[in-house]
C-alpha cells in the first residue's frame, strides 16, 4: 500500500467536480483580454437583439417623409433615412433578424453536417466516397453564387433565405466532422470500447463525437459571423430580406446612394455588421486556442 501512495500523482489533491472544472476553464479563457472582449461584445449584441423592441426609441417602420435624411441628433441618435425612419431603431431590430438567421442557419448546418460527416467518416467505405463527392460538388460552387441562385429560383422569403444559407454550412460542417472522426476513430480508446463489447452507435455518439467537439465548436462560432455577412450580402444585392423589414445589408445598400452627403444612413448598420463579425471571429479564434490541447489548457 505504501508504494501505491507514492505512485498516485495527486493523492491528497481534491478532484474537482464538473462545475468547478467548468468554472476553472472559463476563468482561464477569460484571463486572455481579447477573449473577454469578444465574449462581452457577443453577449452585448445578443442582449441588444433580444431586447430590441424595448430599447428602440421609435417604431422601426414609422415613416415621416418631411423629416428624412436628418443627421444624428438627440431625437434620432443615428439620424434618419430617406423616409424619415429612425436608423437606430432599424439597426436594433435588424440585429434580431441577422442574428436569428445566422443562428438558425448554423444550427441546421451543425446538426445535419455533423451527422452526415460523422457517419460518413465513421463507417467509411462506399457511402463515405459518395457523400464526400456530393459535398465536394457543393463546395466547388462559391457560397454566395449558390445562395443567390437558390434565392432567385425559390424567391426571397425568410425560410428560403435560411435554406440557401444553411446548405453550404452543412457541407462545411460535414467535412470538418469527417476529418475529426477519421482521426478519433483510430485512437486506442475506440478499439478498447470495441474490446468491452460496445455497439457502433454507442461508440459513435458517446466516445467519438464528443472527442470531435473542439473543431466543431470553433467552426460554429466563425460560421455564425460568416452567415450574417452572407445574409447582408444577399440583402445588399436585393435578394435577401425585403423592405420594410429592416436588414443591415438592405440598409447599407439603400444608404449607398446618399453616401456623400448622408453617410450615417449606411455607416451605422455597417458598423454593427462589423462589430458582429469581429465578435464572432475573435470568439472563434479564442476558442480554438483555448480548446487546442497543444495550447496547454484542456477543458
Partner 1 sequence: MPDRPILELRDLQTNFYTRQGVAKAVDHVSYSVHAGETLAVVGESGCGKSVTSLSVLRLIPDPPGKIVGGSVLFEGEELTEVSDQRMREIRGNDISMIFQEPMSSLNPMMTIGNQISEALIQHFGISKKAAFQKAEEMLTVVHIPDAKKWLHGYPHEMSGGMCQRVMIAMAICCNPKILIADEPTTALDVTIQAQILKLMEQLQQKLNTAIIFITHDLGIVAEIAQRVVVMYAGRKVEESTVRQLFAQPKHPYTVGLMTAVPRLENFLEEESAPSRLTEIPGAVPRLYNLPAGCAFVNRCSFATDQCRQEKPPFEEKSPGHWAACWQEIGS
Enumerate binding residues for partner 1 (CB under 8 A). 1, 3-5, 7-11, 14-15, 17-18, 187-189, 191-199, 202, 206-207, 210-211, 213, 298
Report the residue number, 4 or 153, with the smaller CB distance to partner 1: 4
Smallest separation (angstroms) from partner 1 to the CB of 30: 22
CB nearer to partner 1: give 1 or 145. Answer: 1
Q: Supply the minimum distance, in Å, between the C-beta of residue 189 and partner 1.
A: 5
Q: Nearest distance from residue 206's CB to partner 1, in Å?
A: 8
> Least distance in Å: CB of 196 to partner 1?
3
Q: Choose between 52 and 214: whose C-beta lies nearer to partner 1.
A: 214
Cβ proximity of 118 and 103 under 8 Å: no
- Minimum distance from CB of 205 to partner 1 (Å)? 12
| Beta strand extents in 149-255 (DSSP E only) | none
Torsion, Cα 260 262 265 268, to 10 degrees, reads 80
Burial of 164 (0-12, 13-18, 19+ CB in 10 A): buried
Query: At residue 86, what are phi and psi to the nearest 5 degrees?
Result: -75, 120
CB of residue 214 to partner 1, shortest distance in Å: 10
Residue 221's nearest CA partner among 107, 134, 298, 123 is 107
Strand (E) or helix (H) holding 159: helix 158-184
SS3 206: helix
Contact 274, 229 (CB under 8 A): no
For partner 1, the closer of residues 3 and 140 by Cβ is 3
The tally of CA atoms less than 13 A away on the side-chain side of residue 230 is 28
Q: Measured on CA atoms in the order 120, 123, 127, 128, is the torsion positive or negative?
A: positive
**Which of 87, 209 has the CB closer to partner 1?**
209
Residue closer to partner 1, measured from CB, 47 or 194: 194
> What DSSP assignment string belongs to 71-132?
PP-SSSTT-B-TT--BHHHHHHHHHHHHHHHHHHHHHHHHHHHHHHHHHHHHH-HHHHHHHH
Measured from the CB of residue 6, what is the shortest distance to partner 1 in angstroms?
Answer: 9
Which is closer to partner 1, CB of 47 or CB of 192? Answer: 192
Amino acid at each position: 500500500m505504501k508504494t501505491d501512495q507514492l505512485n498516485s500523482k495527486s493523492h491528497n489533491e481534491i478532484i474537482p467536480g464538473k462545475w468547478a472544472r467548468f468554472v476553472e476553464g472559463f476563468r482561464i479563457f477569460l484571463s486572455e483580454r481579447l477573449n473577454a472582449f469578444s465574449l462581452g461584445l457577443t453577449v452585448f449584441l445578443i442582449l441588444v437583439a433580444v431586447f430590441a423592441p424595448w430599447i428602440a426609441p421609435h417604431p422601426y417602420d414609422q415613416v415621416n417623409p418631411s423629416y428624412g435624411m436628418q443627421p444624428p441628433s438627440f431625437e434620432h441618435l443615428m439620424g434618419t433615412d430617406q423616409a424619415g425612419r429612425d436608423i437606430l431603431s432599424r439597426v436594433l431590430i435588424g440585429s434580431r433578424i441577422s442574428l436569428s438567421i445566422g443562428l438558425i442557419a448554423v444550427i441546421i448546418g451543425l446538426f445535419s453536417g455533423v451527422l452526415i460527416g460523422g457517419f460518413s467518416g465513421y463507417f467509411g467505405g462506399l457511402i463515405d466516397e459518395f457523400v464526400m463527392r456530393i459535398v465536394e460538388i457543393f463546395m466547388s460552387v462559391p457560397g454566395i453564387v449558390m445562395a443567390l441562385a437558390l434565392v432567385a429560383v425559390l424567391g426571397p422569403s425568410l425560410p428560403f433565405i435560411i435554406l440557401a444559407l444553411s446548405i453550404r454550412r452543412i457541407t462545411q460542417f460535414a467535412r470538418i466532422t469527417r476529418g475529426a472522426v477519421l482521426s478519433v476513430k483510430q485512437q486506442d480508446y475506440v478499439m478498447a470500447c470495441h474490446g468491452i463489447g460496445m455497439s457502433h452507435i454507442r461508440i459513435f455518439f458517446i466516445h467519438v463525437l464528443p472527442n470531435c467537439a473542439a473543431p466543431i465548436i470553433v467552426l460554429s462560432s466563425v460560421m455564425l459571423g460568416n452567415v450574417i455577412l452572407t445574409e447582408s450580402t444577399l440583402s445588399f444585392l436585393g435578394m435577401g430580406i425585403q423592405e420594410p423589414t429592416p436588414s443591415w445589408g438592405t440598409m447599407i445598400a439603400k444608404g449607398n446612394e446618399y453616401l456623400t452627403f448622408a453617410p450615417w444612413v449606411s455607416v451605422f448598420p455597417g458598423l454593427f455588421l462589423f462589430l458582429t463579425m469581429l465578435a464572432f471571429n475573435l470568439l472563434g479564434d479564442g476558442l480554438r486556442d483555448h480548446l487546442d490541447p497543444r495550447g496547454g489548457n484542456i477543458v
